[in-house]
Amino acid sequence: MQTLTEQDRGNIGRAAAPVLSVKNLQVHYTAESGDVTAVDGVSFDIGAGEVFGLAGESGCGKSTIANAVMRLLQTPAKITGGSIELNGRNLLDLGEEELRRTRWRDVAMVFQSAMNSLNPVMTIGDQIVDVFTTHERMPKKAARERAAELLKLVDISPDRLKSYPHQLSGGMRQRAVIAIALALKPSLLIMDEPTTALDVVVQQEIMHQIKELQQQLGFSILFITHDISLMVELSHRMAVMYAGKLVEVAPSKDMLENPLHPYTHALMGAFPPLTGPRVELTGIPDAPPNMAHPPTGCRFHPRCPLAIDACRTIEPLLLPGAENHDAACLLVPEYVVPSERSSR
């Protein structure tokens, strides 16, 4: 039996603590026309082995959150408030050198159109070996062996170590990128629209593989997509984001069966179903707001079919609307846990 590594020991003590804890995160972009608040007071936790989904339209701030967790934001973006704790350490306090060591070892990311993020003039093998030699100072030969194992993990034959990215199909490249992300066994994997550029059949293969790897290795996932069906299939819990704020957080199945926020409702209604009668869908009218001048009150009110006068002035808070189910909408009555009802 191997002795426990430092990380293993840490994990045991933290069984119940979240892997990632984002609290009141604020991200601003400085623009000529004034400051834009891209992420406004977002808080959420991701537990060990949990798959957490983040859904919303383009420009709502979901990729900004991913980049903030990786500490990849560059000017004009700036994290102006809140904290991002990964395994109990606030990533916002880390210096460059500590960050360099944390990235990839503790948190890795599969980027949007990741299949194009491989270096075209390096073989797949060299790119994986790089991870081990850089982060683990592993001798080349051992690194090669590990690289072969990693490729096997994602169902790619180790012969492919000598292949260049262009010699692989899109799906294989995407799997290779996932393998590279998992090379150092991070406790959190961030995936930003990992399959948008792929065909449905390939997408399904990749999603299935991610699920299997997640169960096998037990890492947590922050999964970002605009495809709610795909998200519900993969994630345990999910949040819906609108104009820089979380508007609903719930276990995925609950969210699907009983969406509380009108925006979630609309977003789910934007996908035609594959079964049942053909009914006319309405989608969501108009476009998301200009973030330089977000609407007052509830940011969704100009597009909301249920908006009342109060929505124009009062900003709704993210409060429980049902058990384990938070929503930020004035029309959702606050839910009180039965045991606490009497004390109120």
Partner 1 sequence: MSPAHSTSSRPETGTGPLVQVRNLSKDYHLGSFPFRSTVRAVNDVSFDINHGEIVALVGESGSGKSTIARILARLEQPTGGQLIIDGQDIFATERRRASMKYRSKVQMVFQDPFGSLNPAHRIEHFLTRPLQLHGQNDSPKAIKLKLRELMATVGLGEQMLDRYPHQLSGGQRQRVAIARALAVEPEIILADEPTSMLDVSVRIGILNLMRKLRDERGVSMLYITHDLASARYIADTTLVMRAGDLVEGGESIELMAAPHHPYTQLLLSAVPDARRTQTVRPPKRDAAERNAGRGTGERVALSESHWALKVPESAA
**Which residues are at the interface with partner 1 (CB under 8 A)?**
57-58, 199-205, 207-208, 211, 226-233, 252, 256, 266-267, 270-275, 278, 280-284, 287-288
Q: Closer CB to partner 1, residue 288 or residue 297?
A: 288
Consecutive H or E run containing 229: helix 228-234
Full DSSP string of 298-334:
STTGGG-TT--GGGGTPPPP-EEEETTEEE--TTSPP
Minimum distance between the CB of residue 269 and partner 1, rounded to whole angstroms?
Answer: 8
Q: Which of 20, 18, 25, 19 is nearest to 245 (CA)?
A: 25
Minimum distance between the CB of residue 203 and partner 1, rounded to whole angstroms?
Answer: 7
Consecutive H or E run containing 287: none
Minimum distance between the CB of residue 256 and partner 1, rounded to whole angstroms?
Answer: 5
Q: Closer CB to partner 1, residue 149 or residue 199?
A: 199
Q: Using only C-alpha atoms, what is the Rg of the chain?
A: 21
Q: Give bridge partners of residue 73 from the DSSP assignment.
A: none
Q: How many CB atoms lie within 10 A of CB 33?
A: 8
Q: Closer CB to partner 1, residue 159 or residue 199?
A: 199
Cα separation, 130 vs 136, in Å, equals 10
Q: Closer CB to partner 1, residue 171 or residue 186?
A: 171
Sign of CA dihedral 116, 113, 272, 270: negative
Minimum distance between the CB of residue 16 and partner 1, rounded to whole angstroms?
Answer: 27
Cα separation, 152 vs 306, in Å, equals 52
Q: Closer CB to partner 1, residue 121 or residue 201?
A: 201
**Are 297 and 313 a contacting pair, CB within 8 Å?**
yes
Q: Closer CB to partner 1, residue 103 or residue 226?
A: 226
Minimum distance between the CB of residue 211 and partner 1, rounded to whole angstroms?
Answer: 7
Identify residue 118 by its one-letter amino acid code: L
Q: Closer CB to partner 1, residue 99 or residue 306?
A: 306
Q: Give bridge partners of residue 325 from the DSSP assignment.
A: 322
Minimum distance between the CB of residue 252 and partner 1, rounded to whole angstroms?
Answer: 8
User: Residue 326: phi, psi to the nearest 5?
Assistant: -100, 145
Minimum distance between the CB of residue 255 and partner 1, rounded to whole angstroms?
Answer: 9
